[in-house]
Amino acid sequence: MIHESIYVLDFGSQYSHLIVRRIRELGVHAELVPFNTPLKKLSACRGIILSGGPQSVTGQGALLVDRAVFALGIPILGVCYGLQLIAYLNGGKVSTSQKKEYGPTRIRISKKTGIFKGLKIDQLTWMSHGDKVTKLPKGYKTLASSNNCRYAAIANYQKRIFGLQFHPEVSNTTNGQKMIANFIKLTGVKHIWTTGKFINNKIDEIKKIVGKDQVVCALSGGVDSSVAATIVHKAIGSQLTCIYVDTGLMRHGESEQVIKTFRKYQRINLKVIKAKAQFLRKLKGVTDPEKKRKIIGELFIRIFENEAKKIGKIKWLVQGTLYTDVITSGISVGKTAAVIKSHHNVGGLPKKFGFKLIEPWRDLYKDEVRKVGRLLKLPTEVTARQPFPGPGLAVRIIGEVTEKKLAIVRSADWIVREEIEKSGLHKNIQQYFAVLPTIKSVGVQGDNRTYGYPIIIRAVTTKDFMTADWAKIPHDLMAKISVRITNEVREVNRVLYDITSKPPGTVEWE
């Protein structure tokens, strides 16, 4: 339980998350909570931020906050829709504006105190609103205006309530982080959110809850489960057993890496189950991507369950659930998402096992987990590992998965990875890999006609993998990769580059 926290009330803005991130970057703990969080819970925090949102505060079914929140005596900052809520619920007026304001907007600060302390009068901000405040509530003052918005920033100093019509959390607001820092200062919250402290607290907490019980962890080689296994091992040592199911669908060198990192260097109890033959048998003749995912997921769980039973009486299961997983499954406001792909995440084992869960990352974002991993001295291959789907190379081979095709895509993938990492571009490209389609084409190699497979290279830049852009890899690097693949992977006589963003494509081909 973290006592010194800032709560960000989520009214559905695409930037709500970003506010939490910005506060954590300041070394302060922050949580995204639903807009209708009960007052009793809210009264326990040190500061409240009302996020932006797509609605109109005066519209039908608008998401509102309990008016009593303004009487709690806790400092409040309203952002965009949040500012309009402050005005509307305290007796001011909000109207739909003829002129909408989107994008970069200059504001002029009239009071350089409170949230604007230490800033110049002229500031570049990012606006995105149709409605605007047209009358201030009693007790409120204007702090800044833009050409089109008289109340670009407002405050009730006595109550320590502030409102910004623009978004300080986006980088386009040049001094947004300074404004957030000023608000945080006003709350008096302690700056305690450091990764080092987090690790020590987590180790103590795991020791306490686990006692003398046995714990099991499904290692996938990915960042979340690897770092989770490491921290749990630091807490309870040999009471932890990790199980790594080698599906035969992993990339080049991956299984060896897991064994080296965990068994050899960390001396963690690690059971490696070689199950390639079982997976290939089950996948024989299967071409439908969703069927492949299901088969792999189910077989993985069966094998894991069998192995866990052999260890004896296990009470706890370690899972790498992230803060983003918690939020997307729990509190997002009125969002529904179509199932594009049924993601089999090897960490996501069903509840029916009856294990209690240890989820060390429930409060963290992925890059924070990477940081924990670095502090725990895990190798870069683990902490900087790009995401890799649970069903592995099976979803990077279009159609039936065979041992031969696995070998082709694995070799090509290794070349793509090696060359992109050698060039240093991997720091800016979030995922890069090879895909093997079913088609073949004619080519000429040496003096011979060939009839071989093409390899498709996929490389994307993305912030959150919900949307992505294809990476603009320099042509000479593409040429190098192409030559290497056609020279080194005998079955391949052509290399293609995927220039599709997401949407309309997805990152993976299946």
Instruction: Point out the residues that are catalytic.
Output: 80, 167, 169
Among 34, 387, 399, 443, binds ligand XMP (CB under 6 A): 387
Among 56, 345, 411, 493, interactor with ligand XMP by CB under 6 A:
345
Q: Which is nearer to ligand XMP, 151 or 432 (CB)?
A: 432
Mark the segment that binds ligand XMP (CB under 6 A) among 145-153, 386-394, 408-416, 448-456: 386-394
What values do phi and psi take at 451, rounded to 5? -135, 95
Query: Which is nearer to ligand XMP, 99 or 463 (by Cβ)?
Result: 463
- Quick one: 24 or 396, whose CB is closer to ligand XMP? 396
Q: How many residues bind ligand XMP (CB under 6 A)?
A: 16
Q: How far is the CB of 372 from ligand XMP (least distance, A)?
A: 20
Q: Does 190 bind ligand XMP (CB under 6 A)?
A: no
Alpha helices in 261-288 (DSSP H): 276-283
Which among 36-44, 127-135, 167-175, 338-346 is the span making contact with ligand XMP, rule CB under 6 A? 338-346
- Asked if 168 contacts 142 with a C-beta cutoff of 8 angstroms, the reply is no
Residue 391 sits in the site that holds ligand XMP (CB under 6 A): yes
Pick from 343, 356, 449, 472 the residue near ligand XMP by CB under 6 A.
343
As to burial, measured by CB atoms within 10 angstroms (0-12 exposed, 13-18 middle, 19+ buried), residue 177 is: middle
What distance in Å separates the CA atoms of residue 347 and residue 370, rounded to the nearest whole number?
17
Reading the block at residue 156, the tokens are: 């009730």
CB 26 within 8 A of CB 184: yes
Which 3 state secondary structure label does DSSP give 443?
strand
Report yes or no: 355 and 314 within 8 Å, Cβ to Cβ. yes
Task: State the nearest-atom distance from the C-beta of 390 to ligand XMP, in Å.
Answer: 4
Q: How far is CA 144 from CA 117, 155, 204, 407, in A?
A: 13, 10, 47, 62
Q: Taking the CA atoms of 75, 79, 81 and 87 in sequence, report the sign of the dihedral they define.
A: positive
Smallest gap from residue 222 Cβ to ligand XMP (A) = 8
Nearest approach, Cβ of 456 to ligand XMP (angstroms)?
14
Residue 293 is a binding residue for ligand XMP (CB under 6 A): yes
Residue 508 C-beta: closest distance to ligand XMP, Å: 3
In whole angstroms, the minimum distance from the beta carbon of 149 to ligand XMP comes to 38
The full length of the chain comes to 510
Least distance (Å) between residue 348 CB and ligand XMP = 8
Decide: is 507 part of the binding site for ligand XMP (CB under 6 A).
yes
Residue 289 binding ligand XMP, by CB under 6 A: no
| Residues between 417 and 456 with contacts to ligand XMP, criterion CB under 6 A | 431
Q: Which residue, 103 or 504, is less far from ligand XMP as judged by CB?
A: 504
Of the ranges 303-311, 341-349, 399-407, 479-487, which one interacts with ligand XMP (CB under 6 A)?
341-349
> Do 160 and 76 touch, CB atoms closer than 8 A?
yes
Q: Does 52 bind ligand XMP (CB under 6 A)?
A: no
Could you give the angle at the alpha carbon of 19 between the alpha carbons of 181 and 172, nearest 5°?
80
Rule CB under 6 A: say whether 384 interacts with ligand XMP.
Answer: no
Amino acid present at 325: D
Q: Quick one: 233 or 251, whose CB is closer to ligand XMP?
A: 251
Find the angle CA(201)-CA(17)-CA(317) to the nearest 5 degrees.
45
Compute how many other C-beta atoms are within 10 angstroms of the C-beta atom of residue 282.
Answer: 16
The answer to whether 264 contacts ligand XMP (rule: CB under 6 A) is: no
Q: Which of 207, 465, 491, 501 binds ligand XMP (CB under 6 A)?
A: 465
Residue 428 beta carbon to ligand XMP: minimum distance, rounded to whole angstroms: 16
The answer to whether 344 contacts ligand XMP (rule: CB under 6 A) is yes
Beta bridge pairs of residue 274: 246
Q: In angstroms, rounded to a whole number, what is the distance separating the alpha carbons of residues 62 and 10?
A: 13
Within 10 angstroms of residue 113's Cβ, the number of other Cβ atoms is 12
* Closer CB to ligand XMP, 387 or 437, in the complex: 387
Considering the rule CB under 6 A, would residue 341 count as an interface residue with ligand XMP?
Answer: yes
Cα 244 to chain center, whole Å? 24
Q: Does 491 bind ligand XMP (CB under 6 A)?
A: no
DSSP-derived 3-state class of residue 93: strand
Nearer to ligand XMP, 293 or 494 (CB): 293
CB 294 within 8 A of CB 334: no
Which residues lie closer than 8 Å to 10 by C-beta, 6 or more apart?
16, 32, 33, 34, 35, 51, 331, 332, 333
Tell the burial category of 277 from Cβ atoms under 10 Å away from its Cβ (0-12, 13-18, 19+). Answer: exposed
Asked if residue 484 binds ligand XMP (CB under 6 A), the reply is no
Is 271 a binding residue for ligand XMP by CB under 6 A? The answer is no
Q: Does residue 184 interact with ligand XMP by CB under 6 A?
A: no
Contact in structure between 432 and 418 (CB atoms under 8 Å): no
Number of Cβ atoms within 10 Å of the Cβ of 429: 19
Binding region for ligand XMP (CB under 6 A)? 293, 340-341, 343-345, 387, 389-391, 431, 465, 502, 506-508
